[in-house]
Amino acid sequence: MKQVRPYPQVIVTHKAACSLKAGHPWVFEGEVMRTEPAPTDGRAAANGDLVDVFEENGTWQGAGLLSERSKIRVRVVSRNANDRLDKAFWARRVEWAWQHRVTTMGTLALPGCEPDTTCCRVIFSEADGFPGLVVDRYEQVLVAQVGTVGMGRLRPLIYPLLLQTLRADGQDVRAVYERNDSPSRAKEGLPLEKGWWDAAGAPDSARLVVRENGLSFDLDLENSQKTGFFLDQKYNRRAVRQIARGRRVLDCFCHVGPFGLNAAAGGADFVRGVDVSATALDLARENARLDGLDARMDFTCADVLEYLPELVGDRRRLRAEGGPFDLIVLDPPAFTKSRGTVEHAARGYRQINYDALRLLPRGGYLATCSCSHFMTRDLLAKAISQAAHDANVQLKQVEERQQAPDHPILWGVPETHYLDFFVFQVV
């Protein structure tokens, strides 16, 4: 590289350089050989700074954000040496991210329903070039989660750009709520906090009613999981809606009820939602009432891992819960968040699918998924196959799906592919 750049430098190993060349944006702590001051003014690197990454042989590998307390020491944001990492650079990134949502989701709304971009993920961290930043849109409110010190420092720049870009496209977006309460922030030395970003104004409440797939949802942005809802299953919920007519549905790990509500909206005779969180079920009941579906829905507060075997072993309990069921939805939380616990997680996925298959009759349907990138598509498929073998049934695949396109999968970065979803008929 001939040009002199104004950033401190991080010198990395050949192994790290090979990973960067393959497309992965992370440099790990053990791959950093040393840091050097900026060549223009001698400025030393500070936590959260933009830095240049050089291989030990002097080859420039990109520019990224430094995290001095994280095992992921640098997250690369650009591999173009001509990029000026200024306001215009981040404005382009925001524009590209929003246009991706408009392009991939803008024409997919159900007939007579709201545009699919009124509730969607606007920024998906590394997949959109904003490492450590997630931003979800719930109609007039953006909910942001910042997980890295570099993105924390860039918030005052990026949030206004988001509001500006959306408003320029005619979107009515009025406020930003920050859910910076993930325990993973401790790895970056960041405090846990949540609340309205004052520069955009603060509505009276963090409760709001939004619509997705033509259904109303009462969301608690302050206290619900993640950013308040799980937008990544938007189109998978439609897949369940399409096969629900005339069926009795068991929606396991139902959270605030989106799969069950879609099933009921699709004409299910009855839906039983089950979740361990009483708070989530209160919202699920309210959502059923809001959508006029409460007469065909009921909810049970229970641990699904215990609940399913109880139904298998007690037919009287099964009937009391509204069964027998001929469509079961399994949408569990991630059973593993590390590579070291994948084998244990696989046993968990195998068990819940086995229990569900024992409850389903021949001709019934199973919708099942995993939301952990460590539990790869092939590992999940193996667990489901073993469950079918153990239950002495055969599965006819209806469809295989992934996360919605507002959660884009960036090739070369396997962490961005985390959701796999299957629909089967039991034969």
Residue 36: CB atoms within 10 Å? 15
Q: Rounded to whole angstroms, what are the CA distances from 167 to 91, 96, 113, 160? A: 14, 15, 21, 10
SS3 of residue 136 by DSSP: strand
Residue 134, H or E segment: strand 133-138
What CA–CA distance (Å, rounded) separates 8 from 36? 6
Supply φ then ψ for residue 323, to 5 degrees.
Answer: -85, -175
Supply φ then ψ for residue 56, to 5 degrees.
Answer: -60, -20
Of the candidates 377, 370, 328, 367, the residue with the CA atom closest to the CA atom of residue 345: 370
Residue 368, H or E segment: strand 365-370
What CA–CA distance (Å, rounded) separates 212 from 234? 8
- Structure tokens belonging to residue 401: 């799906």
Query: What's the length of the chain?
Result: 427
Annotated catalytic residue within 119, 252, 254, 371: 371
CB contact set of 226 (below 8 Å; sequence gap of 6+) = 145, 179
How many Cα atoms within 13 Å fall on the side-chain side of residue 174? Answer: 8
What CA–CA distance (Å, rounded) separates 128 from 101? 11
Of the candidates 120, 113, 117, 153, the residue with the CA atom closest to the CA atom of residue 134: 120
Whether 371 is a known active-site residue: answer yes
Q: Which ranges in 55-187 belong to alpha helices (H)?
A: 87-105, 149-168
Catalytic residue positions? Answer: 371
